[in-house]
Structure 1
Amino acid sequence: MNRATLLLPVAVVAVAAALSSIFIVDEREKALVLQFGQIKAVHEEPGLYFKIPLVQEVVRYDDRILGLDVEPLEVTPLDDRRLVVDAFARFRIDDVRRFRQAVGAAGLPLAEQRIDTILRAQTREVLGSVTSSEILSEDRAILATRIRDAARSEAATLGVEIIDVRLKRTDLPEQNLDATFARMRAEREREAADEIARGNEAAQRVRAQADRTRVELVSEAQREAEIIRGEADARRNAIFAEAYGADRDFFEFYRSLEAYSRALLAGNSTMVIAPDSEFFDYLKASRPER
């Protein structure tokens, strides 16, 4: 057996050992070098690194921002109206050494369970200190920030940074929906009844004012009519008096003709009067003298 034949296996083993001692960390991850479970090195910057083959191992963790949907939970605000809250959190592994010490070989799944527990506890605490109206209003963003800030200190013990927390959904529990809708309907019906009552009251005032104005206008018109009628009668009487003074016989003849026209109407031609009554003076024909 020649030397080349002996050196070939050695070269293959050496190349394999060299290759197994090299590993690459890219910009999306962080890496730990473990030796019999103990952390020997932390690599957070991208690059080419070395380890001892067969003795050391490399554990990689995602360095990107990760998302976590918090399981829906029921909270009880100050006004005792229970709400179902659905939240969403974004986080990243900030301290990879502490992260490994906190969760061990279980890694990210265990960390997500613990973060979920932290966020649920802080959500109940923060939302339990305000009313349901504040939770359902535009102040939700402020409440989410309070939850994030409160959860950060606890998550830091896991080597995790909570970047953001959002309240995606805040609804009433299913069993409370009917009662809440009934109460809302009753409140709206009460408001509608109040508006109708106020409208009827305003309508009554308008009608009363209109009736009063109508009575005042009619009374004023009747008063003016009576004045005008009185003035006309006075003027008529004055004209009659003047006519009577100017020609007494003609005036009596004119008044008699008026009396005839009013008395001798169709359907009213029956009169019981003495023949020598003065009423017929102008109807008697004078006999011609012989």
Structure 2
Amino acid sequence: MRKSPIILILVVILGVVGLSSIFIVDERERALVLQFGRVVAVKEDPGLAFKIPVIQEVVRYDDRILSIDVQPLEVTPLDDRRLVVDAFARYRISDLNRFRQAVGVGGIPVAEDRLDRILRAETREVLGSVSSRDILSSDRAALMLRIRNSAIAEAQALGVTVIDVRLKATDLPQANLEATFDRMKAEREREATDERARGKEAAQRIRAQADRTVVELVSDARREAEITRGVADAERNAIFAEAYGADPEFFEFYRSLTAYENALQGGNSSLVLSPDSEFFNYLGSPTGRQAPAAAASE
């Protein structure tokens, strides 16, 4: 009966030892088995793996593609136009043994710090060998490829592979940006002033041309009206002359009626005339025009 607790304890100890000797490698990671700080095994395939309890330990590293934001840096291209460059890179741990030797217990933070220095140095070197026009144009895809290829060789010492490098932003320094903005603003204001001046000049030309056209049109219209009025007066006079030649007595009668109509309207001024005035020839005689006084006396 005394052996049962001892056996139970041994079973528990063996179970704990057995469980501590087993570890699982996830498909998103790889693992190193260390014994007293020295790498004794590399576990790259996912699944169950074994280690010696207490003596050995397992260190896990991410096997996925990782991303790092490069700290913004100021570069000076060939044309001495300073630029502030913001970039990022994607990398992957390719050699666990070398990675462990390079960064020690610091792991990924130490590796990214060293990789950041590598990328900054390569970016400054590559972008410093071209003009700012090349950096700001579509040709910078080739520049990013050059930065990546240069960084690959440097990053091999860390046990990582640089997969891609991208320039997120390429801007002028703040002081230069403000100066450039002020210069662009002044240039745009000058262009606007020139445009307004040209617009006013064009408006004056158009207005002058319009005024001239109006004067010409009015003059032409008046000339045409005078011509038409002259022709009408000539036709009227011709009709009157023809009518007078055909029947002088009737023409005289028509002229008198027209004169009465125009003179005896309600709004006209008063007329002071003698009763025997020739104006009333056709009003004072029931038979028509009165004979002159001299003819009557004869």
Residue 29 of structure 1 corresponds to which residue in structure 2? 29
Residue 96 of structure 1 corresponds to which residue in structure 2? 96
Residue 122 of structure 1 corresponds to which residue in structure 2? 122
The total of aligned residue pairs comes to 273
Residue 272 of structure 1 corresponds to which residue in structure 2? none
The alignment partner of 2:293 has SS state of: coil
Residue 239 of structure 2 corresponds to which residue in structure 1? 239
The alignment partner of 1:200 has SS state of: helix
> CA–CA distance in 1 between the matches of 2:6 and 2:229?
150
Query: Deviation per CA, 1:136-191, whole angstroms, max 9, x where unpaired?
Result: x7887776566445433432332212344444444443333432321221132133
Decide whether the 8 Å contact of 1:118 with 1:151 is kept in 2.
yes
Give 1:80 deviation, angstroms: 4.5
> CA–CA distance in 1 between the matches of 2:123 and 2:271?
104
Q: RMSD of the TM alignment (CA)? A: 4.6
Decide whether the 8 Å contact of 2:67 with 2:89 is kept in 1.
yes
Decide whether the 8 Å contact of 1:77 with 1:132 is kept in 2.
no
CA separation of 1:232 and 1:9: change in aligned 2, threshold 3 A: closer
Residue 220 of structure 1 corresponds to which residue in structure 2? 220
Which amino acid is the alignment partner of residue 185 of structure 1? K
Decide whether the 8 Å contact of 2:134 with 2:140 is kept in 1.
no
Decide whether the 8 Å contact of 2:75 with 2:82 is kept in 1.
yes
> CA–CA distance in 2 between the matches of 1:57 and 1:140?
46
**1:286 partnered with 2:293:** yes
Which amino acid is the alignment partner of residue 74 of structure 2? E
Residue 67 of structure 1 corresponds to which residue in structure 2? 67
Give percent identity, aligned residues only: 64
Give 1:282 deviation, angstroms: 7.7
Residue 283 of structure 2 corresponds to which residue in structure 1? none
Query: Deviation per CA, 1:65-121, whole angstroms, max 9, x where unpaired?
Result: 333232222233566443333333332212212222333444323211111012222
Output the TM-score relative to the length of structure 1: 0.68
Output the TM-score relative to the length of structure 2: 0.66
1:141-220 to 2 correspondences below 5 Å: 147-220=147-220
Residue 48 of structure 2 corresponds to which residue in structure 1? 48
Query: Deviation per CA, 1:12-39, whole angstroms, max 9, x where unpaired?
Result: 8877766665444332322223456554
CA separation of 1:233 and 1:85: change in aligned 2, threshold 3 A: same
Query: Deviation per CA, 1:223-254, whole angstroms, max 9, x where unpaired?
Result: 32232123123224433543554566887996
> CA–CA distance in 2 between the matches of 1:267 and 1:140?
102
Which amino acid is the alignment partner of residue 110 of structure 1? V
The alignment partner of 2:158 has SS state of: coil
CA separation of 1:47 and 1:242: change in aligned 2, threshold 3 A: closer
Mean Cα deviation higher: 225-234 or 45-54: 45-54
CA separation of 1:248 and 1:70: change in aligned 2, threshold 3 A: same
Decide whether the 8 Å contact of 2:21 with 2:50 is kept in 1.
yes
The alignment partner of 1:45 has SS state of: coil
Decide whether the 8 Å contact of 1:91 with 1:161 is kept in 2.
yes
Q: What are the ranges of 5 or more consecutive residues in structure 1 without an aligned counterpart?
A: 270-279
Q: What are the ranges of 5 or more consecutive residues in structure 2 without an aligned counterpart?
A: 281-290
The alignment partner of 1:113 has SS state of: helix
The alignment partner of 2:67 has SS state of: strand
> CA–CA distance in 2 between the matches of 1:195 and 1:133?
33
CA separation of 1:183 and 1:246: change in aligned 2, threshold 3 A: same
Which amino acid is the alignment partner of residue 49 of structure 1? A
The alignment partner of 1:71 has SS state of: strand
The alignment partner of 1:107 has SS state of: helix
